């Protein structure tokens, strides 16, 4: 029964993503206009996001949307996701290799558009002859909010790592990337997080400069509380492995890991998110509510991640029935989960997560 419900949930999420919503229809507002900086008193150089309030949501599989990137920005999502595949030094964006096309690349869909948006958000004018310092982000209502670009490495970690780093050059060269300079974290308009086959050993290899951060495994963070000592020992034994392993395609939070994970392995100098599959780590709320054990797990995840300065994110959240989905969103937000992984941008960003009878249908 649970399997059938999960299948329906995933299917409904995928089907709904192909229909335009109000954010899809308004996404064209983000495209450059020759009249955008005119003398019209209703407009100003950075007004593209003038009425958009950033919301702690992550546009799951953003490249599936009718208007990738722009729909998520129009909704106010602070995070977007791109799955990348490396072929002949080019990074193609898509869920599987069968969905790849020559024109859908990391540069064309995300890097170049973000450069254009940030150039517009940081204009050089008679009133401001120099660049903003620090540079303003994509949201005019909150210029300090960094956009979280989650890049899912689908091909071999090391090779894909170097390609991603190279293709981020236009953002890096303009000083738009959040980075660690060896002493402190400098926030920029764009924060890049590597997931999938991203190799942790390469993330941490450079101790004086990093601008790609890790998506740490939330369920494997070590808790130093005395009451959790038994769990800690079990966790250390579970993750202990040979550091010379050549397995670099192990999935989120698995590749290039050290032999032993301690409480200091993941922190804000090398990681940003702490993520895990909701279905795997918490399980389906049955019968449509969280058990005490599930609530304890969520609270422990939030406590340990926040102690290390990491943002909590669950993926594989149930998206149907809508009342259950809304209930899960509400509980996670109340418990301190930082970013909701969502397919329904309208439902997530409106903030109206009430439970109604008709919400039990797609």
Q: Helix or strand or coil: residue 211?
A: coil
Within-domain flag for 49: no
Closest CA to 134 of 123, 143, 126, 124: 143
DSSP E strands in 231-338: the ranges are: 271-277, 311-315
Within-domain flag for 266: yes
8 A C-beta contact, residue 67 and residue 350: no
Is the bond into 287 cis (omega within 30 degrees of 0)?
yes
DSSP E strands in the chain: the ranges are: 55-59, 77-87, 90-93, 147-153, 179-180, 185-186, 190-196, 212-217, 271-277, 311-315, 339-342
Most confident residue range from 19-33, 186-200, 231-245: 186-200
Distance CA 28, CA 156 (A): 35
Q: Which residues contact 346 (CB under 8 A, 6 or more apart)?
A: 21, 22, 23, 75
Computed over every residue of the chain, the mean pLDDT equals 86
The total number of structural domains that make up the chain: 1
Q: Which residue has the tokens 């898509």?
A: 94
Q: What is the CATH number of the domain that holds 156?
A: 3.20.20.190
Residues 230-239 have a mean pLDDT of 43
Within-domain flag for 9: no
pTM of the prediction?
Answer: 0.85
Question: What is the per-residue pLDDT for 12?
Answer: 60
pLDDT above 90 (res 104): yes
Question: What is the per-residue pLDDT for 15?
Answer: 55
Within-domain flag for 322: yes
Question: What is the per-residue pLDDT for 31?
Answer: 72
Tens-place pLDDT, residues 235-248: 444 443 434 444 56
Tens-place pLDDT, residues 136-170: 999 999 999 999 999 999 999 999 999 999 999 99
Distance CA 230, CA 192 (A): 35
Question: What is the per-residue pLDDT for 42?
Answer: 67
Query: Which pLDDT band holds residue 75 (cuts at 50, 70, 90)?
Result: very high
Within-domain flag for 37: no
Tens-place pLDDT, residues 263-313: 999 999 999 999 999 999 999 888 778 999 999 999 999 999 999 999 999
Within-domain flag for 31: no
**Domain of 339?**
54-124+132-360
* C-alpha neighbours within 13 Å on the C-beta side of residue 264: 0
Closest CA to 134 of 182, 80, 174: 174
Residues 225-232 have a mean pLDDT of 45
Most confident residue range from 41-55, 160-174, 321-335: 160-174
Within-domain flag for 33: no
Q: Which residue has the tokens 């999420």?
A: 13
Residue 73 main-chain phi, psi, to 5 deg: -65, -40
Within-domain flag for 11: no
Angle at 245 between CA 243 and CA 250, to 5 degrees: 105
């Amino acid at each position: 029964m649970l399997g059938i419900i999960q299948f329906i949930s995933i299917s409904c999420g995928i089907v709904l993503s192909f229909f335009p919503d109000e954010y899809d229809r308004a996404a064209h507002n983000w495209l450059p206009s020759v009249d955008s900086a005119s003398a019209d008193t209703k407009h100003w150089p950075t007004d593209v996001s003038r009425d958009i309030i950033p919301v702690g949501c992550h546009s799951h599989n953003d490249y599936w949307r009718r208007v990738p990137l722009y729909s998520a920005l129009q909704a106010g999502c602070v995070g977007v996701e791109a799955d990348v595949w490396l072929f002949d030094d080019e990074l193609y964006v898509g869920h599987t290799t069968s969905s790849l096309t020559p024109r859908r690349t990391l540069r064309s869909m995300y890097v170049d558009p973000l450069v254009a948006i940030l150039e517009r958000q940081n204009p050089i004018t008679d009133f401001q002859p120099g660049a903003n310092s620090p540079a303003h982000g994509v949201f005019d209502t909150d210029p300090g909010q960094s956009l979280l670009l989650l890049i899912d490495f689908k091909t071999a970690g090391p090779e894909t790592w170097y390609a991603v780093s190279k293709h981020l050059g236009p953002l890096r060269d303009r000083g738009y990337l959040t980075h660690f300079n060896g002493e402190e974290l400098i926030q920029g308009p764009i924060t890049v997080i590597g997931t999938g086959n991203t190799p942790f050993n390469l993330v941490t290899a450079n101790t004086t400069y990093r601008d790609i951060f890790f998506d740490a495994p939330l369920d494997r963070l070590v808790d130093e509380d005395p009451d959790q000592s038994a769990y800690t020992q079990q966790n250390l034994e579970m993750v202990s492995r040979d550091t010379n392993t050549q397995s670099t395609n192990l999935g989120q939070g698995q590749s290039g890991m050290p032999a032993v994970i301690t409480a200091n392995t993941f922190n804000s100098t090398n990681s940003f998110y702490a993520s895990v599959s909701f279905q795997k780590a918490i399980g389906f709320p049955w019968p449509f509510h969280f058990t005490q054990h599930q609530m304890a797990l969520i609270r422990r995840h939030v406590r340990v991640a926040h102690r290390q300065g990491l943002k909590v994110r669950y993926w594989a959240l149930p998206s149907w029935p809508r009342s259950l989905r809304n209930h899960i969103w509400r509980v996670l937000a109340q418990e301190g989960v930082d970013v909701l992984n969502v397919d329904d941008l309208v439902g997530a960003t409106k903030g109206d997560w009430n439970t109604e009878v008709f919400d039990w249908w797609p």
